[in-house]
Structure 1
Amino acid sequence: MASSSSSSALRCSITISLLLLAFTYASDPTQLQDFCVAVSEAANPVFVNGEFCKNPATVAADDFVFHGLNVPGNTSNEEGSTVTHIFASQIPGLNTLGVGTARIDFAPYGLNPPHVHPRASEALLVLEGNLYAGFLVASDPENKLFARILSPGDVFVFPQGLVHFQLNVGNDTTAVALAFLGSQNPGVVTVADSVFGSRPSMDPDALAKAFRVDKSVINYLQKHH
């Protein structure tokens, strides 16, 4: 009996260890030192999952600072929005820390179009204006939508890898939000741009069938992405 109990405990211990290991690798790797300030190594042919580290002896406070997030972004575009990213490429000191942020500016009725962050969850804080924000549950057979109208001070969370969006519902007012992301390089995949703006273009017959529209609609969308 003692041997059986010991074997069972061992299997349980191994299972828990594997689960913890899987959870650990579900986000950016944990840093192995206090910091690893990113340094450009464009000539180096070795690819790394992150950035090369600057010599700690040459690191300065400026490596951990970004100036100008208070400056509004230019929203004179078709979407009426702009995103100012603050990732490791903007603050080298973010390298290996597993976090990032962004400022999102909206013109009246501006849209941050449906998109995905494949490597990060996101918490959105509304600073000004009112936003209609939501995400789709990919695993739900009905593609359930979770959405709310957000006011200044409200926070909305978007789970990693799910399609989400924000729309300024103020027809005559601008809006501003801050996004906090769980990766130094969360990635951004905009749904419409990816589907209709791929290079080379996807077969319009396949897209027409997938979206259940006439091929002329697909041709128009591909032409404008």
Structure 2
Amino acid sequence: MTVDPSQPAVPPTIINNGEEVPNPNPAVYAIKPYLRDYGTPRVSYDAAGLPALSGTVSPNPTGRGSHTNPRRPDGALSPSYGPLYAGTTGQGRANWDIHIYYKPNNLGEKEYARALHSAIRREFPELKVYRFWDVPIGPHPLPMFEVDVFSTEQLGAALSYLVENKGPLSVLIHPNTGDAPGDHSVRATWLGPRIELDVESLHAGERRRLAEGDAGFAK
């Protein structure tokens, strides 16, 4: 495997759950520097040379007034209202995954999860709703079912619906950038209690691909 010399040096340690630990997979981190460096939050236009943002807030008796934001130079909405984020490598997919978990020994949760599975199929026939699993699969330590969304409009509708209707269940929402470990960890969003996934199994899959000479991203 050849590592691009223009990339930053591979760090000997990384931060894992707030603790500095030895880098477990330097080859992957060399290929994917964003896993160790969050960079700068993106603005979709060149803000260099524009006036500084005002710190003035609207009057509010509670002191919680909102800022008056400058208009975008192009007068348009952010591209984030467009296609779902799929990474910047060209290896991603256009859909985001939603995983809805239940505890298999909790009959109340299992019944509620089955009811939610049916309700989503009726409420959102345009979404991809996968089978209801009775056992854990992949990096998921609890049984679950998956729903795929393909637009920011679908994501917003599904998120609003799940906030209202998820009940006692935990929900994972993640993009598909082509980097499965990062998508299931640093880019994951949770509704309800967070569940510890077996992300190491996803790293192991990447290590196998690297050992076979494939420097691509996990699918």
In our comparison, the structure showing a higher alpha carbon Rg is 1
TM-score above 0.5, yes or no: no
TM-score, normalisation: structure 2: 0.27
Question: What is the TM-score when the length of structure 1 is the normalising length?
Answer: 0.27
